[in-house]
Copies of this chain bind each other. A is one copy, B any other.
Amino acid sequence: MDEDKSPGRTVTIYDIARIAGVSPSTVSRALTRPGRLSPKTEERVRDAATRLNYHANPMARALPTGKTSMIGLIVSDVTNPVFFDLVHGVESAARRDGYTLLLTNTDESMSVESVSARQLSRVADGLLLVSSRLNDTDIAQIAQSKPTVLVNRELDGVRSVVVDAEYGIGEAIRYIAGLGHTSLLYLPGPERSWMSEHRWECIQQKAAWARIQARRGPSHAPTIDGGREAAAYVREQGPSVVFAYNDLMAIGLMQELAVAGISTPQDMSLIGFDDIFGSDFTTPALTTIASPLFDAGQLAFQRIRAMLDGQPGIETAPPLSTRLIVRGSTGPRHA
């Protein structure tokens, strides 16, 4: 019994082999693909491994196999509450499957995103790009070098998970129509945001259907400050309903309007997107179109997983649907 000698040294398959009286290759087999060995050998190896508290060295395993069991997750802003549930969903699905997450924050910078993607792709088995700000061509190139799944963006030839904005927007339009509104203003997010464009298209479509006139304002940062900055423009236009690209902007806008003496929803109705943490803290609480972000995160991981396992790309997507959450920031059109 010398298994607890030299406590500092990390234990390898050679140690186990020695203790179990088999060859290193046998140890490797017993540990990686059970059932291929004689039960007694396998048991001897397992016993020895447990006794020595063996844990395979992931790097050493990765070298011959080319698999690290790591997934790179690239987000544009870790402090943006929109991503919390999404990251949570990805993380929990990954951990359950024995994968670990490599997190990179790009601070909304294209060049950081591009560099990070290339670096992560060197070590991760697959990449998850959330709300990517990259060009289509950059993304296509990345996706070619490594299994990639896009979240909240679509691109031909690349798999993606996109929350279907349509349903929730449809509800919202019907709802404001019922309240007597006949026009709306959409406040877009960043120029490079695929999702902002997508929402605008859905809004136009549903608005046309409901005979509501839809206009769009200029782009702003998808933040509280972005919403604040939009206030001047909004006041100038004086719409009866504003759809902001996201809750952050809606909240900033609401605050700034309040300062200017414009009250929500009496003077103007406000609708956001995402139902982020805190969107119900405001006065009035924000009416918003919620996305199942946790589910989207889980699904995104499953997609990556499927690619890694070489599964067909046909997978039927479970519905990832938005829905309207009516709170206090919307009301009847004022006379």
Contacts and interface: CB of A to CB of B under 8 A. Distances in A.
Given A59-B62, A81-B81, A105 B88 contact: yes
Interface size class of A (residues with CB under 8 A): 35 or more
A52 B319 CA distance: 43
Contacts of A88: 78-79, 105
A87 B104 CA distance: 10
Give how many copies assemble into the complex.
2
Contacts of A281: 251, 278, 281-282
A120 interface: yes
A303 to B, nearest CB: 19
A151 to B, nearest CB: 16
Nearest to A85: B79
A107 interface: yes
Contact of A68 (B56, B59, B84): B59
A68 B58 CA distance: 11
Contacts of A123: 58-59, 100
Nearest to A70: B102
A1 interface: no
Interface of A: 55-60, 62-63, 68, 70, 73, 78-79, 81, 84-85, 87-88, 91-92, 95, 100-105, 107, 112, 116, 118-120, 122-123, 251, 277-278, 281-283
